[in-house]
Structure 1
């Protein structure tokens, strides 16, 4: 295993997952993004995968923590990260975002550095407010050599990776039974394509697919549309999330004593979101699915500021067209 940091993958997670610098965890490869409103449904800015909509939003910071796994069971590298992202709507269905996994540092051995800058253009292809359903697509780029030099501290990739993304979300407010109405699901599928097939040292940069989903139970929705809840509960959305990454082509031969290069890695775990009218707090316990994904449970947390609610007539409105719909609880 690399003595400075665990091996990286083109994506996270998100994308994305050290949670952010450890390629095994796609979840940390792309910072969490804007919340989504479809009809009466608020989809929170989930942590394992991105939500399916566009908004004006600032995510600052996104904190990640994980201990890397090792093949022999010895203590692995302890990884931390502080990321960020800013998302700006161009129209009510199109947004441009810029962000980064941010500042990364680790122990065993000690090292630190900055991750590459990432940009994304996201488009909502279809939505049905009555059905609380939405489908979106995006193209993103992690720009090579925009972080710390690969020879210093925690390496950032020296090549650019393009990722094509597909999102979907569905709330069950139209379900026949009241207990079902607070449920919602979201999903994401990504194809990550490095722009350089190999590096100067002869190592290969694989093509990857990443995929994940969330199952949400919105007490926010229940309080507004089913039955009134105590103040302590009415702004919470508990969820269960999962995110996985699989290298599919251009694979290296694994080094002796290292994990295979075609191994699927990822995390699953519960999460909890607090939704106010102007910001969101989220935290997720990330359980690695294998030793290649991590040594034990990690944590990811973020604060998201809803600029479309904080400054709806200035910074928080689209550059062109009508402003976004707003739902206040």
Structure 2
């Protein structure tokens, strides 16, 4: 397990600073009835909102042989065009540390820029259910090849959903704060194969190497228990306000190559991420462990942390509202004091 502690220090510092903020209503991401679906780290959440994630920091070890350490620092800006349709932009800067080398070795640079167009298809406040459809695009050639950014664009049509269990009978009050979210996407490379050549200096002949770019099924889910929901919609146990803002969560993010796999194989890779989210008034802080599901997914346990801002709460009448809208009411439930 990595012994890098500075993401934990960042989390502690932000949580400590939160005591000086207003004790107005705690807000979260997608609101469906009494349910708030928070922004999640390993997969995208089912909502369409105005928000900024800055920064998201992760440290992990790759599944390469030999394995090397990778540091990713990313951000995301999401903007609603209408109440139900939005677009987001997510750049990521990476640094790769060579196996066994000093910290000054290795490559660094930006990954390909990612853009997501998302439309909310359906929302049921009574059943705390929401579903959206989107198109994620990784723009080929926008990043640095030294950190593995591909030259081709990848298109991923995706379905997102969220379901809270607040519609369970009161005899199951203990389970009503639970919620699940998930996503299913099909990644389609813009080109089916990539060809490269290497010159043999001894013979003068060119060796041609062809790599097939597989189509990949991306799938993932979260299981979360909302302490804010427990207090506001089930029972107030008189717990400290800090505890009432916590959301324990477990995420899974997995990828399975399903076609054009001649050179990639069909092994499923991914991670399981247990962690916790703190929902503040206009922001949230989250930290999770990153546990590879197999050797091909990575070695050792990594960590990911994120600071996330709700623009619809910070700038409700300007940046935090849809571009094409008149009167917008967030209808958020009452959390905290």
State the TM-score, normalizing by the size of structure 2: 0.81
**Match of residue 219 from structure 1:** 227
User: Over residues 146-181 of structure 1, what are the superposed CA-to-partner deviations in whole Å (9 max), with x where a residue is unaligned?
Assistant: 112x2xx31311010000000111111111121111
Question: Are positions 1:180 and 2:170 aligned together?
Answer: no
**Match of residue 215 from structure 2:** 207
1:261 Cα shift? 2.5
- Gap regions ≥5 residues in structure 1: 1-33, 254-259
Equivalent runs, 1:1-329 vs 2, <5 Å = 35-70=29-64, 76-100=67-91, 102-109=92-99, 110-148=106-144, 150=145, 153-176=146-169, 177-201=172-196, 202-228=210-236, 229-253=239-263, 261-321=265-325, 322-327=327-332, 328-329=334-335
Where does structure 1 differ by over 6 angstroms across 4 or more consecutive aligned residues? Answer: none
Between 1:220-229 and 1:38-47, the stretch displaced more is: 220-229
Q: How many residues align?
A: 283
1:326 to 1:276, Cα distance in 2 relative to 1, 3 A: farther
1:323 Cα shift? 2.2
User: Over residues 90-129 of structure 1, what are the superposed CA-to-partner deviations in whole Å (9 max), with x where a residue is unaligned?
Assistant: 11111011112x1100112511111111111100100011
Higher helix share: 2
Whole-angstrom distance in 1 between the partners of 2:165 and 2:74? 32
Do 1:83 and 1:99's aligned partners in 2 also have CA atoms closer than 8 Å?
yes
1:130 Cα shift? 1.6
**Match of residue 7 from structure 1:** none
Give the structure with higher Rg (CA). Answer: 2
Whole-angstrom distance in 2 between the partners of 1:38 and 1:323? 15
What's the Cα RMSD here? 1.5
User: Over residues 221-279 of structure 1, what are the superposed CA-to-partner deviations in whole Å (9 max), with x where a residue is unaligned?
Assistant: 111122222222000100111111001111233xxxxxx62210011131210111200
Q: Secondary structure at the match of 1:199?
A: strand
- Gap regions ≥5 residues in structure 2: 1-27, 100-105, 197-209
1:323 to 1:105, Cα distance in 2 relative to 1, 3 A: same
Do 1:113 and 1:155's aligned partners in 2 also have CA atoms closer than 8 Å?
no
State the TM-score, normalizing by the size of structure 1: 0.83
